[in-house]
Chain A
Amino acid sequence: MNAPLRVLGCIIVGALSAAGVIVFQRYAGEPTSRMVTALVGAAAVLLTWSVTGLE
C-alpha cells in the first residue's frame, strides 16, 4: 500500500473527527475542550491507520 496516501487518509479522518467534536461541543452547549478534540482526532488517526493496514 502507498504509505503517503495512507498517511493522507489518516489525516483526513483525524481532521474530520476533530471538526466533528468541535461541532458537537459548540452546538450541544458543552464547554470547549481542546484536549478532548485533540484526543479524538489522534484516536481517529490511529484507528484509521490500523484498519487500513488490514488489507
Chain B
Amino acid sequence: MIQWTVVNKGLQVGTIKITGVGSASVVLIGDTEVISTSSVFDTPPESLIIGPLVPFTGGR
C-alpha cells in the first residue's frame, strides 16, 4: 500500500490571472480528496453536411 503524507506549510499567492477555464476543468483554491473530470468533443468528417439547409429532427 502507498503511504502518502503531506505537511501543508504556509501558502501565500499574490495574483492569479486566468484567461479561460473550459470543458470540465477545475480551479480549486482549497483542499479536496478526489477530482475526476472528463470531456468528449466530436467533430467527425460526417459532421460536415453539404446541401440544402435541413433542420435537425426531434424538437425539445
Chains A and B come from one and the same complex: no
